[in-house]
A = this chain, B = another copy of it.
Amino acid sequence: MAKKEVKAIDSSTEERIKLAAHKLFAQKGYAGTKTRDIASEAGINLALLNYYFRSKEKLFELIMREHIQQFFQGMFQVLNDENTSIQQKIETLVGRYVDTLMLQPDIPIFVLSELRNSPMNLADNIQKNMQIKNSYFMKQIKEGIANGTIDNIHPVQLMSNLISLTVFPFIANPILKTIHGIDQEQFNTFMLERKKLIPLWIAEIIKPKTTFNK
């Protein structure tokens, strides 16, 4: 009689554990998160964690893969849209990341700091989700360079600039706020302004330079 479906999926025990783990792992990292904290945060008995996910590590890997997928999946679509210009793609990417990260600012530093030591091979996972090298965006860049529409720049450098300018301020948030003496609200305003500015800056960077002397 489908009594299971009465429970909303989001409030099922399994999902509650995942949500709690998601939150704590992102906040405190793998080693800093204790299974009892997850259980307590999810409002469940400790043994259930192992019942549903076998082990802390299995649960972690699951959540980690979801993070990486979520973090990268949007990019793939945007970069391979054959109906948008380079500039439009840049605006969309920056806009999406800023919006997402304003809601979940802990994700980048969590993923990147765990990725450093994690024995599990996430390379495969990323590789599958991201074929940036062969994306339509990269093709557009190369064409632009050939045409002289945009300045000669290595596509990897361009992508790095895009992501650096967008993501790094979230990672450096505590230092930024301290150094410049601003609060969280001012930081958000700051990032919303960057959402508009970064595409303009990138445009300047890739604009072809007419090299005549003075």
A63 lies within 8 A of chain B by Cβ: no
A31: chain B residues within 8 A (beta carbon):
28-29, 31-32
Within 8 A of B (CB), among A175-196: 175-176, 178-181, 190, 193-194
Q: A163 near B157 (CB under 8 angstroms)?
A: no
**A201 smallest CB distance to B (angstroms):** 5
Q: Which A residues lie at the B interface, using CB under 8 A? A: 27-32, 106, 109-110, 112-113, 115-117, 122-123, 126-127, 130, 132-133, 154, 156-157, 160-161, 163-165, 167-169, 171-172, 174-176, 178-181, 190, 193-194, 197, 201, 204-205, 207
> Can you offer 17 A-B residue contacts whose CB atoms are under 8 A?
A27-B117, A32-B32, A110-B113, A112-B175, A126-B178, A133-B180, A156-B180, A157-B193, A157-B197, A160-B165, A160-B168, A160-B169, A163-B172, A164-B168, A164-B169, A165-B165, A168-B168
